[in-house]
Amino acid sequence: MRGLAENIDEVVDRIADVFNVEGRDGGLRPILKIRGKTLYGFEVCDGYFHDLAPAPHDRRILCVDASIKKIFDLSSLQIVCIKVAWGLWCGRSKVKLSSRRFFSIVDGKVEALSLLRSVEAETILLNSSLLGDGDICILDRPLMAIPTFKRSSLDVLASLENKLSSMGIILVGLCKSTQLRLENGESIIGYLMFRRRGKPWFYYPLFEDTYPWILGRIAIACFDDVDYAFRVDVSPRISSIQDIGRILSYIAYLQDPAYPGYPYPLLHVHNEAKIANSEIEALRERIIELLEERMILKRFLGSVRAGEFREDVLWGNR
């Protein structure tokens, strides 16, 4: 069958083909696939690598992250818990850290992710008064909203960026993982790490800044002498390579010695936003208790069992 092999050696041969390709007409190009459309970036070039050094500062940094977990799967609907965390730092000094939980009923993944984006945006706006001109707001996700999300997701993100920009605040999206790759299928980050080893660096530009679903300017940054790098989307109002490098140098300064290569404030809010299994169990018990009081528990559990069969048996979680 197409795409399948009975011998692992054949798979190794295909991998070798991927990593031996250097581009059809010169250098390899980064690509981004969105709903069947392929966006091609600029050919990878050593001239797009730039040195990066941490720049000490006392700018205020607002970091926001949110997570979502299902409480109950009703097959056609899901009851979810969203936990959003935010923290304010002044340089490397933590000023404040807080988190809140929200609950909703959604009809699928797209609505859930759109809701997650909205909660993060609202949290930023509620706390934006803590920031001023030249301060930075960091999200734990890219500054883009692909068409599979609701149109409102892009509108929320664009509105957020416009409001922050009007206050002189710089919005940044830093991603722990990315789907960006080269046209031969290889990871763009892995390839750049292979070409540029040693001292910290950033790579820019990758793509033209004119795609409607991509809000930020995409760069790849390696913040320390480590074996990993990250996609970083910088506010579109930051236009020059020098200014992008300056913003990245401020972020590089936020590393903790125990976690080199990644800004500690973002890691801190990420951990704070995690939803423990014990929290979900407590919420389930509370929902069951309330539904029993209203005498609709038996009917509710029928929908739950339908969802659990699909998830546990058909999807292999049992």
Q: What is the pLDDT along the chain (318 residues), one digit of tens a residue?
A: 566 777 787 777 777 766 665 544 457 899 988 777 888 999 999 999 999 999 999 999 999 999 999 999 987 889 999 999 999 999 999 999 999 999 999 988 888 888 898 999 999 999 999 999 999 999 998 998 765 555 566 788 888 999 999 999 999 999 988 888 998 888 999 999 988 877 899 999 999 876 777 888 999 999 998 888 999 999 999 989 999 999 999 999 999 888 889 999 999 999 999 999 999 999 999 999 999 999 988 888 888 886 665 544 434 444
d(C-alpha 58, C-alpha 135), whole Å: 9
Distance of CA 118 to the CA centre of its chain: 14
Q: Which residues contact 251 (CB under 8 A, 6 or more apart)?
A: 136, 138, 172, 174, 221, 223, 232, 263
Q: What is the pLDDT of residue 4?
A: 73
Domain with CATH 3.30.2170.10 in the chain: 49-272
Q: What is the pLDDT of residue 25?
A: 46
Q: What is the pLDDT of residue 176?
A: 83
Residue 33's beta-bridge partner residues? 38
Helix intervals (H) in the chain = 8-20, 109-127, 151-166, 188-195, 241-252, 264-272, 277-293, 297-308
- Residue type for position 53: A
Q: What is the pLDDT of residue 86?
A: 97
The answer to whether 216 and 171 have CB atoms below 8 angstroms apart is yes
Q: What is the DSSP string of 242-277?
A: HHHHHHHHHHHTTEETTEEEEEHHHHHHHHHT---H
Residue with tokens 């009975």: 6
**CATH, domain 49-272, list 2.120.10.10, 3.30.2170.10, 3.40.50.620, 2.40.440.10:** 3.30.2170.10
